[in-house]
Chain A
């Protein structure tokens, strides 16, 4: 079956430091990956869409300078939160799509910023 793993599941970083999180698709080819953020008590905001061999498209209020994404192959994507501050805390969700546009979600990486 199709699964999406995310690492780490939970992480804590000091304010002003950076944190890298990973997303791995197993059992299917992730032709594109979407990264979402759920801030405390809120819904899931789309951060960016990443397609292999194409430019990454960032949503309004999110930038490559703050959330650089790497998507080197059809099973792996990573995103870094640079200079993390309190407002960056939350659950970061990876959603990967296969060739027939079925979307699979990972369990998320929960980021705490001290």
Chain B
């Protein structure tokens, strides 16, 4: 049972473009949504996170847009660089549960 889903499964953008990664969830009790970046052969690294009381969170070139009513959120990577090529995971949890990971989006930024 996949409680957190991501789309697209893979995404290719040109260097300098904004990459948009989508995430949706089923459990309306989730209130914390981190995004992780994973490079091949490594573990996931926390990139940015948002709580359900907010609808937007920015950090550097990364922005999360959150829609509580629709139970979805998106990660925008502005001015994408080849070094941003990685797999991105959305996760969800609340104070009483552990994080559930999404299905992942593999991003490739082409020079």
**A interface secondary structure, majority:** strand
Are A43's CB and B95's CB within 8 A? no
* Chain B interface bracket (under 10, 10 to 19, 20 to 34, 35 or more): 10 to 19
Within the complex, which residue of A42, A103, A107, A110 is in contact with B98, where a contact is CB–CB below 8 Å? Answer: A103
Given contacts A43-B89, A44-B89, contact A34 B98 (CB under 8 A): yes
- Interface flags for A13-46 (1: CB within 8 Å of B; 0: not) read 0000000000000000000101010000011101
Are A44's CB and B101's CB within 8 A? yes
Residues of A within 8 A of B100 (CB): 46
Given contacts A43-B103, A43-B104, A44-B89, contact A91 B43 (CB under 8 A): yes
Chain A interface residues (CB < 8 Å from chain B): 32, 34, 36, 42-44, 46, 49, 91, 93, 95, 97, 101, 103, 105-108, 110
Residues of B within 8 A of A108 (CB): 42-43
Are A44's CB and B44's CB within 8 A? yes
- Interface flags for B78-111 (1: CB within 8 Å of A; 0: not) read 0000000000010001011011111110000000
